[in-house]
């Protein structure tokens, strides 16, 4: 075990008050019976014993309330982009680049019992109570490195609260939330970088971003510009009032146009995608002018 790895392990344990465990670099599994360390942290004597007994180990960080961490594990670029689309653009998150993707470090929520699970979005898992992640700077047996992104380590950023849009995707032990239908979230792969980087997209609420993604997922063939989408198709993800506000924002900023409203006739809403978002500006003078135009 390198001196650097030992230094980091001690820092996680002593400076950040995290529960850590030794893991096998070949299969990422704990080298010890680690259930007790979901509820208590290893003391100096146990830690010293691990250093002697497992000289080739990597280190894992136990998640949940013991370390005050909820970690989002993105195993693909699409999964990472999907999660980041739900995060306010100004939010800074401690982030680890893993051999396959990214680990995002959030503060463990006090609003529910968040455990550990897979597939909240395609390629996206979560680690809370009863979970752990491999920590930097562990190197696996194939040479894959776990490392902090520059400027995004625990030394530089305190884990923030988990955004509500992400928590909405995660079932808690006390709820019977329906699992996310992955087919619906294929829309994330269709959100282009030019959209994500635009002022228009950054101005959207998290709910509006999700609504936009769900609408994109309804496109059945290449070149299709119109989609039928009733609220019932979004009911698993947000309340109707929130969905209505999200759709109105998408229309206002120029991502979609409503071509048909169900109204009293109980028809399906039809939306047409628009490119007028390209003309959107977050300049304060422009925003004020838009407000004046709305008031007439």
Task: Tell me whether residue 174 is in a domain.
Answer: no
Task: Tell me whether residue 274 is in a domain.
Answer: yes
| Same domain for 160 and 13 | yes
User: Which burial class, exposed, middle or buried, applies to 197 when counting CB atoms under 10 A from its CB (0-12, 13-18, 19+)?
Assistant: exposed
| Same domain for 40 and 71 | yes
| Same domain for 240 and 160 | no
| Same domain for 205 and 136 | no
Task: Tell me whether residue 175 is in a domain.
Answer: no
CATH number at residue 229: 1.10.10
What whole-number distance in Å separates Cα of residue 237 and Cα of residue 210? 8
| Same domain for 117 and 65 | yes
| Same domain for 188 and 163 | no
Say how many Å lie between the first and final Cα of the chain, rounded: 70
Tally of structural domains, the chain: 2
Q: Please report, in tens digits, the pLDDT of each residue of the chain (296 residues total).
A: 667 888 888 999 999 999 999 999 999 999 999 999 999 999 999 999 999 999 889 999 999 999 999 999 999 888 899 899 888 888 999 999 999 999 999 999 988 789 999 888 888 999 999 999 999 999 998 999 999 999 999 999 999 999 988 988 888 765 544 444 544 455 666 788 888 888 898 888 878 888 888 888 877 666 678 887 777 777 767 777 888 888 999 999 999 998 887 654 556 788 889 999 998 876 655 544 545 455 45
Task: Tell me whether residue 172 is in a domain.
Answer: no
| Same domain for 139 and 13 | yes
Task: Tell me whether residue 199 is in a domain.
Answer: yes
| Same domain for 155 and 34 | yes
Specify the pTM: 0.62
User: Which burial class, exposed, middle or buried, applies to 288 when counting CB atoms under 10 A from its CB (0-12, 13-18, 19+)?
Assistant: exposed
CATH number at residue 95: 3.30.720.160
Annotate 257-277 with DSSP letters as a single string. EEEE--GGGTPPPEEEE-SGG
| Same domain for 290 and 238 | yes
Task: Tell me whether residue 173 is in a domain.
Answer: no
Instruction: Give the structural domain span for 160.
Output: 3-167
């Amino acid at each position: 075990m390198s001196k650097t790895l030992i230094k980091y392990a001690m820092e996680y344990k002593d400076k950040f008050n995290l529960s850590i465990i030794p893991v096998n670099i070949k299969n990422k599994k704990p080298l010890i019976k680690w259930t007790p360390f979901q509820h208590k942290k290893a003391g100096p004597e146990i830690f010293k014993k691990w250093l002697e007994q497992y000289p080739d180990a990597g280190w894992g960080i136990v998640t949940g309330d013991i370390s005050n961490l909820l970690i989002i594990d993105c195993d693909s670029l699409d999964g990472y982009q999907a999660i980041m689309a739900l995060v306010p653009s100004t939010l800074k998150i401690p982030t680890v680049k893993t051999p396959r993707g990214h680990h995002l470090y959030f503060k463990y929520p006090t609003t529910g019992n968040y455990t550990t699970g897979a597939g909240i979005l395609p390629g996206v898992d979560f680690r809370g109570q009863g979970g752990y992640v491999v920590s930097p700077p562990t190197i696996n047996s194939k040479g894959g490195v776990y490392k902090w992104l520059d400027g995004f380590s625990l030394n530089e950023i305190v884990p923030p609260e988990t955004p509500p849009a992400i928590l909405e995707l995660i079932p808690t032990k006390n709820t019977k939330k329906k699992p996310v239908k992955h087919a619906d979230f294929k829309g994330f792969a269709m959100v282009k970088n030019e959209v994500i980087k635009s002022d228009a997209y950054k101005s959207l609420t998290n709910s509006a971003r999700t609504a936009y993604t769900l609408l994109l997922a309804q496109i059945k063939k290449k070149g299709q510009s119109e989609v039928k989408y009733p609220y019932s198709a979004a009911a698993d993800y947000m309340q109707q009032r929130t969905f209505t506000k999200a759709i109105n924002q998408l229309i206002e900023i120029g991502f979609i146009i409503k071509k048909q409203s169900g109204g009293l006739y109980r028809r399906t809403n039809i939306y047409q995608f628009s490119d007028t978002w390209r003309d959107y500006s977050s300049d304060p003078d422009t925003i004020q002018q838009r407000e004046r135009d709305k008031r007439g």
